[in-house]
C-alpha cells in the first residue's frame, strides 16, 4: 500500500472496480449523470457505514471537513446531501445488490479453507431472517402490520467465515418458509434451519436436489417410529429413530423416511427434537450442527449494532434497499481486507479503528499497531466471538 493514500482509499482499492463499472453500465446507473456518479455514491455511502454517520447532513459535514483529501478518496467534488439523496432515490438498487453478490463470491473463496469446529468436509449453511422495523407513516410501502412497517432480510450464512452466500430483502409480510423457494440447493451441502422452515414439500425438494437439512420438529408433528438405533444416553442423545410421516398430506409431500433425534441439552436441560434427512452423521454431530445455527443470529445482531441499517437516509423502497445492500458490501469488504492482509483483529475491532482513521495516510497494518491492538477479548467480543478468527 502507498503511504500517500488515505486509509479509505486503500480500502476502496480492494474492490473490483472493473466489475462495478460493468454492473453500472448494465443498469444505466451513470446515464445523464453530471455530478456524483455511481462510484462516488458508493464511496459516500460506504464512508457512512464505516464511520457510523446518522444522516445525509452528517455525511456532507464530515466529508466537507476533509475537502482537501476528497479527490484522493475518489470524489471529484464535495458531496451535497441533496445530490446524494436524489441518487439513492433514483438509481436502481439492483446495482448494489449485484455488486454485493460479486463481493460475496470473492469472500467465500477466501474463507473456504477455514475449518469448522465440527471438522466436516461438507459446506454448512444457516438459514434465517431478521426483521428491521420501520415507521408506518414514513415507509407505507413496507406495510407489516396495522401499526408498523418493516423489511425482512432473509439470509443464508456460510458458516465458514460467516459470509452470507444468499440475501433477499423483502417486505415484512413474506413468511420465512418462502425463502426456500428462492434458493438453488447445492448438492451435498447441509442447510440448518429453525422450525419456521418446516414445510415437508419444500424439504423434500431439498432432498431430491441432493442436499441435506437439519431442523427442529414441530410439537404437533404426526409420525410413527420405523426403527430405533442404539444410543448412549450419557452423551445427551435420548433416541435416534427412523420415522415415517402419518398424515395423508404430509406423507404425500415427504413420502420417504426421516431421521428423528431427541437430544437433552446438558446446559439448559431442555429436550430438543431434530429432523434430518442425513442418516450417516452421528446423532451428536446433528445436535452440534443445529447449535451452529446460532451464528446467523449473531450475524444479524452484529450488523444491526455496527452498521447503519436501523436509521435510514431515505424513505423510498429504492433508498432503503440501496442503503441495506451497500451496508452488506461494507461488511463483506472488511471481511475481505481482514483475510487478504492476514489481520488478527476481529471485524468489530477493524470497524472501530477504521471509523476514526479513514482520513489518515498510513498502511492498514500500521493503523492497527498504533491503536495498540491486542487479542484480549472485551465483553462485547465475548458475546460476538463468531467474528474472532
The C-alpha cell of 147 is what?
A: 401499526
User: Looking at residue 115, what is its pLDDT?
Assistant: 73
User: Looking at residue 2, what is its pLDDT?
Assistant: 52
User: Looking at residue 370, what is its pLDDT?
Assistant: 63
The tens digit of pLDDT for each residue in 347-377 reads 888 888 888 889 988 888 887 766 554 444 4
- Stretches where the chain sits below pLDDT 50 are 1, 373-389
Q: How far is Cα 135 from Cα 109, in angstroms, rounded to an integer?
A: 38
User: Looking at residue 383, what is its pLDDT?
Assistant: 44
How many angstroms separate the most distant Cα atoms in the chain? Answer: 74
Domain range list for the chain: 7-96+311-387, 207-283
* Beta-carbon-side half-sphere exposure of residue 95 (alpha carbons within 13 Å): 28
3-state secondary structure of 91: coil
User: Looking at residue 379, what is its pLDDT?
Assistant: 39
Spatial contact of 301 and 380, defined as CB atoms under 8 Å apart: no
Could you tell me which CATH number the domain at 207-283 has?
A: 2.20.25
Q: Which residues, including other chains, have CB under 8 Å from residue 40's CB and lie 6 or more apart?
A: 74, 75, 76, 79
Amino acid at each position: 500500500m502507498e503511504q500517500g493514500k488515505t486509509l479509505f482509499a486503500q480500502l476502496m482499492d480492494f474492490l473490483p472496480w472493473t466489475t462495478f463499472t460493468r454492473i453500472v453500465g448494465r443498469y444505466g446507473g451513470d446515464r445523464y449523470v453530471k455530478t456524483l456518479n455511481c462510484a462516488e455514491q458508493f464511496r459516500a455511502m460506504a464512508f457512512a457505514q464505516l464511520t457510523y454517520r446518522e444522516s445525509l447532513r452528517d455525511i456532507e459535514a464530515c466529508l466537507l471537513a476533509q475537502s482537501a483529501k476528497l479527490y484522493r478518496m475518489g470524489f471529484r467534488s464535495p458531496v451535497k446531501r441533496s445530490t446524494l439523496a436524489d441518487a439513492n432515490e433514483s438509481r436502481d438498487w439492483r446495482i448494489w445488490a449485484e455488486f454485493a453478490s460479486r463481493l460475496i463470491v470473492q469472500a467465500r473463496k477466501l474463507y473456504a479453507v477455514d475449518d469448522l469446529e465440527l471438522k466436516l468436509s461438507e459446506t454448512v449453511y444457516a438459514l434465517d431472517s431478521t426483521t428491521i422495523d420501520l415507521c408506518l407513516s414514513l415507509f407505507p410501502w413496507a406495510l407489516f402490520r396495522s401499526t408498523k412497517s418493516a423489511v425482512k432480510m432473509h439470509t443464508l450464512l456460510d458458516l465458514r467465515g460467516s459470509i452470507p452466500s444468499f440475501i433477499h430483502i423483502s417486505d415484512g409480510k413474506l413468511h420465512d418458509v418462502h425463502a426456500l423457494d428462492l434458493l438453488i440447493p447445492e448438492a451435498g451441502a447441509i442447510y440448518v434451519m429453525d422450525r419456521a422452515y418446516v414445510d415437508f414439500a419444500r424439504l423434500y425438494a431439498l432432498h431430491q436436489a441432493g442436499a441435506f437439512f437439519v431442523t427442529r420438529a414441530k410439537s404437533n408433528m404426526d409420525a410413527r417410529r420405523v426403527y430405533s438405533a442404539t444410543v448412549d444416553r450419557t452423551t445427551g442423545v435420548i433416541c435416534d429413530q427412523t420415522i415415517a410421516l402419518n398424515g395423508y398430506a404430509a406423507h404425500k409431500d415427504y413420502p420417504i423416511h426421516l431421521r428423528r433425534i431427541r437430544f437433552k441439552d446438558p446446559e439448559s436441560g431442555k429436550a430438543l427434537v431434530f429432523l434430518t434427512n442425513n442418516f450417516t452423521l452421528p446423532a451428536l454431530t446433528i445436535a452440534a450442527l443445529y447449535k451452529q445455527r446460532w451464528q446467523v443470529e449473531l450475524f444479524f445482531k452484529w450488523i444491526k449494532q455496527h452498521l447503519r441499517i436501523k436509521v435510514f437516509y431515505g424513505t423510498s423502497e429504492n433508498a432503503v434497499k440501496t442503503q441495506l445492500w451497500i451496508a452488506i458490501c461494507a461488511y463483506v469488504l472488511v471481511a475481505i481486507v481482514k483475510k487478504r492482509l492476514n489481520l488478527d483483529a476481529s471485524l468489530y475491532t477493524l470497524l472501530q479503528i477504521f471509523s476514526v482513521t479513514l482520513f489518515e495516510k498510513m498502511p492498514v497494518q500500521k493503523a492497527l499497531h498504533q491503536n495498540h491492538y491486542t487479542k484480549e477479548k472485551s465483553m462485547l467480543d465475548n458475546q460476538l466471538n463468531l467474528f474472532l478468527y
